[in-house]
Structure 1
Amino acid sequence: MSVLVGKTAVVTGASRGIGQAIATRLAAEGALVVVHFGTDESGAASTVEEIERAGGSGLAVRAELGVDGDADTLVAGIRAGLAGQPLDILVNNAAAPPAGPLGVTTPAEFDRLFAVNVRAPYFIIERALPLLRDGGRIITISSVATRMANPTQTSFAMTKAAVEAMSRTLANQLGARGITVNAVAPGATRTATNGAAFDAPGLTEQIAGLTALNRLGGPDDVADVVTFLASDAARWVTGQVIDASGGLFLGPRA
């Protein structure tokens, strides 16, 4: 039985990768999904086509994140797309990638990371709250970078730590409305977009060797966790960071 029949959802950054997998999975469970994209219109159209091919319902909304007015633009598109229906599920997935280590990241790159990865989800939530039904779900994609000391991702990890703190505090604030707020932290996840990066000799095996479940993650691994949090089965889970990394870097492997 589909667990999200009659629900509406928004997934930011859903034109490819993990966001696309989340959008199609939520739709497969019965939700009407608003597919947000920034620049990849063809990718968003492909996501909607995949949703409809599987018998689901979806629509694409464009809003560039990290610029003034981004949250207002997105929420206006959501309102128009839902045509008076309330919103049940908000998934903040869109993010700018790591910019580099200390001494390499420029101030402009640093500011953009925080604009896209922190400011945008914060104000998207704020602007979307009047649309969000009591008992709704807010899920933000974080990263295992927050618990691993990787010097090449310092500024990126800082942004993800910020949204984890945001999720905990908003869970406390919005609990009176029955709204749950959680974060999901993927690890090394191979997608169609980043697949070439894992083709370096020995890299896949190296990462698998650092992972308790002994393999790379895929977009569906993360999408299934998000779908659980979006469902009624997770109604008693809030203010949490759910690690969806397969146990990446838990400690020495025996």
Structure 2
Amino acid sequence: MGRNVLITGAAGGIGQAMVAATLAAGHAVAALDRDEAGLAALASAHPGTALHTIRGDLATEHGCLAAVTEAAVRLGRVDAVVNNAGIGVSSLRPDAETILPSIEELDAATWDRFFAINVRAPMLLLRAALPMMRAGGWGRVVNNTTSFRTMLRVMPYGATKAALEAASAVWATELAGTGVTVNVLIPGGPTDTPFIGAGATWPREQMLRPAVMGPPLAWLLSDAAAGVTGQRITAGRWDAAAPEAAAAMRAIGWPELGADAVWLSAGR
């Protein structure tokens, strides 16, 4: 059964792969991006399909709410939200992926913009789309975060993705039993897209291809994944023949670290 899927950051490398896989799986797609030329190219690449392009900016609350409203108008309703849009450190300078930003480079405006796009926008999009998902008793939320290594090394990007990872775990628990699942999907390493600036020193030929994100996303959007929630999938290790294999799937975040908590005894 085809569903109605909102994909953000749809005109970029990973977004393009996600759109292609979602359309191929028989779903309708509202493709959101702020890049008007990129959206036009995306539409040209998928003529005659159930693709609807939407230009919008997720840096503002109004932009997020307008995106869901427009997607619902175009599609009839929103069944799934794929939070792929993001801002990375290459936006600060082309070599920032390999010469990491220092705290002296991170002023308040930069910090706030990263969190607005990478953390606040996914929350606002889910909040706006959730009533439609609840009404239908079916929904999918797929959030693109990053590896734990990046979370611990790259500011402010890593901090935003750690926050989104934690939020994803909370939302999965909150929505358990509603028919709405929440999962995380990451490439698993540097991916050959414009998101990584030209000044990065990693060999492009060794990077992951954006297409690795397509098959696991299509599976997460399918009824076959109805019982899968609260999981993070590493696309670079995912195998369609064994979609739930431990090699590519584990609980969102690192719940084993919860054992570090010290609980106060009753009455204290």
Q: In which range does the TM-score fall when normalised by the shorter chain?
A: 0.7 to 0.9
**Residue 123 to residue 149, structure 1, CA distance change in 2 (3 Å):** closer
Please tell me whether the aligned partners of residues 35 and 48 of structure 1 are also in contact (alpha carbons under 8 angstroms): no
> Is 1:15 the counterpart of 2:11 in the alignment?
yes
Matching residue within 37, 41, 66 for 2:36: 41
How far 1:135 sits from its partner (Å)?
A: 2.1
Q: Which stretches of structure 1, 4 residues or more, deviate above 6 A after TM superposition?
A: none
Return the alpha-carbon distance in structure 2 between the equivalents of residues 192 and 69 of structure 1: 27
Alignment of 1:70-219 (within 5 A): 70-82=63-75, 85-98=76-89, 99=92, 100-132=101-133, 133-144=136-147, 146-148=148-150, 151=153, 153-186=154-187, 187-191=189-193, 194=196, 196-197=198-199, 200=201, 203-204=202-203, 215-219=206-210
How far 1:179 sits from its partner (Å)?
A: 0.8
Return the alpha-carbon distance in structure 1 between the equivalents of residues 115 and 171 of structure 2: 18
* CA RMSD of superposed structures (Å): 2.2
Identity in percent: 32
How far 1:176 sits from its partner (Å)?
A: 2.3
Return the alpha-carbon distance in structure 1 between the equivalents of residues 81 and 229 of structure 2: 14
Unaligned 5+ residue runs, structure 2? Answer: 93-100, 238-246, 248-268
Please tell me whether the aligned partners of residues 181 and 228 of structure 2 are also in contact (alpha carbons under 8 angstroms): yes
Task: Report the AA paired with residue 203 of structure 2.
Answer: T
> Is 1:68 the counterpart of 2:68 in the alignment?
no
Return the alpha-carbon distance in structure 2 between the equivalents of residues 58 and 171 of structure 1: 28
How far 1:243 sits from its partner (Å)?
A: 2.2
Matching residue within 201, 218, 227 for 1:227: 218
Count of residue correspondences: 225
Please tell me whether the aligned partners of residues 11 and 34 of structure 1 are also in contact (alpha carbons under 8 angstroms): yes
How far 1:194 sits from its partner (Å)?
A: 4.4
* SS in structure 2 at match of 1:175: coil
